[in-house]
Amino acid sequence: MLRRIARNKQVTIPKEVMDRLHLSEGDYVSIELDEDSIRLRPVVIEDFSRDDYKKLAAKLDQLKKEPGTSYGHSKDARNHLKRLMK
């Protein structure tokens, strides 16, 4: 697919791509720059409430007192923290 860079350095993402990736106006994408290419990836931003942050801080304080655990992927660590916050 070919697109022209418009005013203000904007590029329109084709509807087919938006539909395939289930993207909507207002969604976030990360921009990764390789040696000679640009990659856009959908990103989900999760909002946390003040209470969520307090729970997380309390759990982190608790975890500091326990032996450490290593995770092979950040998603595994994030899922573990979510389970702890319940």
Q: Provide CB contacts within 8 A for 63, sequence distance 6+.
A: 84
User: Is 45:36 a contact under the CB 8 Å cutoff?
Assistant: no
Question: CA-CA distance, 57 to 31, in Å (whole number)?
Answer: 30
- Report whether pLDDT(85) > 90: no
Q: Which domains does the chain have, with CATH numbers?
A: 7-43 (2.10.260), 50-85 (no CATH)
Q: Taking the CA of residue 17 as centre, how many other CA atoms within 13 Å lie in the half-sphere pointing to its CB?
A: 12
Percent of the chain with pLDDT over 70: 100
The model's pLDDT over 56-84, given as tens digits with 9 standing for 90+, comes to: 999 988 888 877 778 889 999 999 999 98
Question: Residue 17: what pLDDT?
Answer: 95
At residue 66, the pLDDT reads 79
Q: How far apart are CA 42 and CA 29, in angstroms?
A: 4
Instruction: Specify whether the CB–CB gap between 30 and 43 falls below 8 A.
Output: yes
